[in-house]
Structure 1
């Protein structure tokens, strides 16, 4: 047998350099092992995602079959019974504190007002409070405080009530009424639940912009000399529940994300759903925090150039496109920032932010902030009517007044929370367990 010269040279090279050949073989083997491991991880991840999606679709199919088998009448009956408990728990949770503060404002509040303006306090605030106290307990004060309800320009009298801040309780309760109906289809949509949720968020945002442009409203509550424009904004936008429902839908979307992550972890998935695996990457987290920071600054300072009294430009306005964009997305954008904080802190991805916000020092303010919100405005009125002299505005005087009102509101709010809120919170927990 004749050996080819090139073959002989190759054999000689291999024999003379065994170490290089061995290293090359080892590198090829290591590369092959890494490739196999990566492929195995990809295949396992794909199988896991497919399995989770299959389970989700099976659950959706099972729910549909169960609803079909039990019949429409029984399904409606079960839903209404749970919906009634849902409302009862909410009413028990928020009503006692409102009732106690109304009693304080309509009764002994005049005992805390001294000075030359006490008679003015009694003839204006106290008389109206004792006449329209029931408005705060209807959870519809946001509509009853508007002249003529939804009809702008109607001269019928309003019902201001006792606590000026209960208008937002009305908005909150009305949104609370409709949210179960908006979220009910999520359970039966399977893989399309995220598309449905995002569609709800987008629709709620666009509704705000459309109403703002159709009624020629201000994009936000601005400092302006145009009193009619401010009144129209309050009537059609500021107090209306459909203009403020986007934060509730955004929070529901983030709630679905947390439920999805918890469901995967309970089923033994170490890495969690696909979106959580992406979110854990450092570059994604950095991008998320950057967007969070820019959004917060844009919402807070986006109108700084027009939200100011100026005799040279008494009625500053945005462009139509700017008005539509800000009116549509400002509230939802702020809700997304809050949702990002909650999501990252709950999943342990917020780092020092989570450590700061999870500190026990925030437990007391978080438990009494509802009563603080309710009592702060009446307390400010009592302090204002108790003045003995003119109040000269300055940075220091405003800072001292603000700090005093906040501190006093927390003291009074804590007492009200202990008396009127804590017992009924425990009662609500017992009702939910049953």
Structure 2
């Protein structure tokens, strides 16, 4: 299939209407496209040729004359005309080539940002929404090094590892956030500022049309795009039963490389990566390992100053009290976002703290909420001074809270500090 064909409103209209016919899902549509050889060939087909492709006379009549099949088309075309926004179609220019090779490749992709990010080699990084400080820092630093070497880092804009991957990459190069909502619906809303920065050098990408809000059923579909459009998927901290592990298995099924970061055996989030390594995933320790496995150029070593900058300046690594302006299930549109001024670096929100609700992507009905202070502590000994820095708590308040968490079974006191035990 040719991938350099220019996308026009005429092409979009023809294939959009076809997709609305009963029985024309992504797989059927892609099979038809393979028979035609190019998207534009559909416009040249007469009735007899359409019949030979498997369309019934009823389907042909509806495709040509039923105005109901154009519902939603104006929304798509209007989005395409907006500055900084666009639509990609399988088989046409700029559509990710690796993704187009899948039987269930989305017919249309909607984006906001810089489409040039799709022209670079792409690597996915995924992991837990509740990672350890070690996982957060490793993801951010590895993503930064990959981006600096010319790689576009792909993830899902979720809390945790996804956010860290985007945060690291956007500082040194480009990143793509694949959404489970329309590209104008920022979820979670606390990643509004990050989404704006992504659009400068990368893009927000989705198979869901503008205006579509996030739904739990969208995220498995989103995951196949993350793995399918990339050369490889890196797994950083994940439980055995998690969406991250599903993404990793999708990557393997799609013929992509899978890399896993080993972790401390006492950390439950090490179980996913360790299981993947047992099943044949490549064990990696840094960005050079990833690039070497893929046969790509090795980046220049990062300086100590750059590493310190990444560790200390990342808003995602600070105490989550700085990120509680929105509940997790809240979505904010880019249009609304344009009316929101970006806060000064590290400024505390003026809005009162809002209790967070369960993420819509969660499959667990009985998930235990992890106390905020626990997320600042590693499964290996973490010094009290480092816990104080990460939590932004004064010692007079920190020490009683650590004692209570120890009594509640979350922590264990060690020589030199505390270690998380669950």
With normalisation by structure 2, the TM-score equals 0.22
More helix by share: 1
Greater Rg by CA: 1
With normalisation by structure 1, the TM-score equals 0.22
More strand by share: 2
Higher relative contact order structure (alpha carbons within 8 Å, sequence separation ≥ 6): 1
